[in-house]
Amino acid sequence: MIRLEDITFFESVTTCWTDKEKLEQYSHDETEDIKSIPAVVILPETAEEVSKILRYCNAHRIPVTPAGAMTGLSGGAIPITGGVLLSTVRMNRIIEVDVNNHQVITEPGVITQVLQEKVAEYGLFYPPDPASKGSCFIGGNVSENSGGPKAVKYGVTKDYVLNLEVVLPNGEIIWTGANVLKNATGYNLTQLIVGSEGTLAIVTKIVLRLIPHPTRDLLMLVPFRKMQDAAEAVAAIFKAGITPSGMEFMERDALIWTQEYLGSSDIMVADDHEAHLLIEVDGFDEQVLMGEMERIMDVLSAFDIDEPLLADSQAQKDKLWKLRRSVGEAVKSNSVYKEEDTVVPRYFLPELLYHVKTIGNKYGFKSVCYGHAGDGNLHVNIIKGNLTDRQWREELPVAIKELFTEVVKLGGTLSGEHGIGLVQKNYMPIAFPEITINLMRQIKQVFDPENILNPGKIF
């Protein structure tokens, strides 16, 4: 419970919002259909302000839910216990692009695409960009260990985070590591914070490594007559020794629904197109990339494909990527749905698809699948469609458990890039035995003994 004097204290530190409209706005992220109203939204501008707020909340056992742009897909930023919603929206400065060291120091409230564009001005590249790159925050990306389409070649957020300034629940401000490419100095607290979904500390500064920005890319959309072929082709391309910079899978309905959603009809989806792969290669030499695309075509010729579309202009590339990036929103606009973020070793993608469809048939649900096939990361959107509320409430979780059980058998796990947050936490025992979850709980207790930080998430 938050008292009036608490609000008075928060207001003495920094900007606070308590009006209904704002509280409503901060009551949900992009996760399906869940809301919880915070008592107050606090918008600190500095680590020192965050420190004062956390020290106070820790002393008074007031729950604090850290939030970025609230674009998350696992409910991590929903203030389910009420209390304080701490938004990083005003910590939005890019502090330094360190061109000499190929690093950038940024605050967490910077939009990922803004950060990308800023460092690109210096010929530098920050690769991880979730579909929501135009609205999500880099701080949220760090908290969820976000991926995106480039991860297949360049890795995910964790592969770029060198060092973090964080505020611990007791108000202490520390750096987790150093601004170096190699570090063998004590436990890797940096990587412990990355992906911890705001449950251990609040990130207030981020040091990212950067790489030279590729100057060329080629993009190709390939229609497959059999969905399983598309899934199998993925590992075949990598086995041929090529590492594409994008390798995206879209099931038939994903493409059709998204074109409808965007009011576009550029891509002819023939009756016998079950799925598409969107394949990108990038680098610094057009000749080399043409050679790679040719080798990819050689691999694909063993599968039952229709004519590929090789994008012949930047506008066409942008259009294809926009299509891919909008699938999530398109599905969302189409039906009540539940999204799973399954991930398996990439060669097992066909088996994963098989299980998705088989379990769907068994329980009577339809699914639309798409995602980062090169990483074995398949977003499974389960559509409510004609299912009754009872089926949706009672049977779906059973079906999902069955799916995750198969995923884990394949060496995979619950989430590739969306996090566990609120909506996946009941499935954690499928991925980890109690002993392991308990280790995580105890680590949580080391950082946050009063359990004030994002309580009720992950575990």
9-28 residues near a copy of itself, rule: CB under 8 A: none
Among 20, 182, 263, 390, binds a copy of itself (CB under 8 A): 182
| 290 near a copy of itself (CB under 8 A) | no
Angle at alpha carbon of residue 304, lines to 152 and 277, rounded to 5°: 25
Return the residues of window 203-222 that contact a copy of itself according to CB under 8 A: 211-212
Closer Cβ to a copy of itself, 117 or 172, answer by number: 172
Q: Residue 77 or residue 414: which is nearer to a copy of itself going by CB?
A: 414
Exposure letters 289-301 (e unless 16+ CB within 10 A, then b): beebbeebeeebe
Query: How far, in Å, CA of 223 to CA of 374, rounded?
Result: 16
Q: Please, which residue, 118 or 158, has the CB nearer to a copy of itself?
A: 158
The one among 252, 355, 372, 379 contacting a copy of itself by CB under 8 A: 372
Pairing assessment for the beta strands 64-67 and 84-87 based on DSSP bridges: parallel
Is residue 422 a contact point for a copy of itself (CB under 8 A)?
no
**CB-nearer residue toward a copy of itself: 194 or 387:** 194
Instruction: Answer for the pair 103, 207: CB distance below 8 angstroms, yes or no.
Output: yes
Residues 6+ apart with CB under 8 A from 405: 430
Is residue 107 within 8 A of residue 204, CB to CB? The reply is: yes
In this chain, which of 57, 85, 189, 330 binds a copy of itself, going by CB under 8 A? 189
Q: Cα–Cα distances in Å, from 431 out to 75, 147, 193?
A: 19, 20, 20
Instruction: Answer yes or no whether residue 183 interacts with a copy of itself by CB under 8 A.
Output: yes
Stretch that binds a copy of itself, among 44-52, 87-95, 108-116, 178-186 (CB under 8 A): 178-186
Residue number with CB closer to a copy of itself (184 or 315) = 184
Residue from 178, 268, 290, 302 touching a copy of itself (CB under 8 A): that is: 178
Q: Which is nearer to a copy of itself, 180 or 302 (CB)?
A: 180
Shortest distance, position 99 Cβ to a copy of itself, whole Å: 7
Q: Give residues 28-87 in contact with a copy of itself (rule: CB under 8 A).
A: none
Token readout for 106 is 């940024």
Residue from 99, 114, 256, 310 in contact with a copy of itself (CB under 8 A): 99
Which token pair is 450? 């009063």
In one letter, which amino acid is 404? F
The correct pick among 29, 351, 375, 406 for binding a copy of itself (CB under 8 A) is 375
Give 99 or 262: the residue with its C-beta nearer to a copy of itself: 99
Of 51, 87, 112, 176, the one binding a copy of itself (CB under 8 A) is 176
The verdict on 381 binding a copy of itself (CB under 8 A) reads no
Binding status of residue 159 toward a copy of itself by CB under 8 A = yes
Interaction between residue 188 and a copy of itself (CB under 8 A): yes
Nearer to a copy of itself, 212 or 364 (CB): 212
Name the residue nearer to a copy of itself (CB basis): 238 or 261. 238
Does 439 sit near a copy of itself (CB under 8 A)? Answer: yes
Binding piece for a copy of itself, criterion CB under 8 A, among 7-15, 30-38, 132-140, 241-249 = 241-249
Question: Judged by CB under 8 A, how many residues of this single chain contact a copy of itself?
Answer: 90
Out of 27, 58, 106, 377, point to the residue binding a copy of itself (CB under 8 A).
377
**One-letter identity of residue 4:** L
Conformational region of residue 146, where left means phi above 0, alpha means psi within -120 to 50, and beta covers everything else: beta
Is 172 a residue that touches a copy of itself (CB under 8 A)? yes
Q: Which of 235, 255, 359, 368 binds a copy of itself (CB under 8 A)?
A: 235
Determine if 164 is a binding residue for a copy of itself (CB under 8 A): no
Instruction: Write down the least CB distance from residue 170 to a copy of itself, Å.
Output: 9
| Residue 148, phi-psi category: left (phi > 0), alpha (psi -120 to 50), beta (remainder) | left
Nearest residue to 405 via CA among 344, 339, 337 = 344
